[in-house]
Amino acid sequence: MPTIRSLLAHPEERRPSPPAPRANLFRIFGAGIGLFAIGLVVALILYLTDRGSMESVAICGTGIVLGVLGLLWARRHR
């Protein structure tokens, strides 16, 4: 077993890193967008009944926009 000092001095002796696991980013971003859309509906209902704030509506809307941008990024970087 090599020591930490020898590994830092000679990183080529280190075992290779395992490959990164594959993930379905469309499913992940889609789930996030869906959850933010549900939150947006709830936030709008609360805002329209004077129980919520416009800030929560803006946060949910921003989450949807960022999720769509993430989908576009995932499509480009397959």
pLDDT (tens digit, 9 = 90+) per residue, 1-57? 778 888 788 877 778 888 989 889 999 999 999 999 999 999 999 999 999 999 999
- The residue type at 23: A
> The tokens 């805002």 sit on which residue?
47
User: Scanning the structure block, which residue is given the tokens 């709830």?
Assistant: 42
Reported pTM: 0.74
Q: What's the pLDDT band for 78 if we cut at 50, 70, 90? A: confident
State the burial class of residue 29 (Cβ atoms within 10 Å of its Cβ: 0-12, 13-18, 19+): buried
Q: Where are the domains of the chain?
A: 24-76
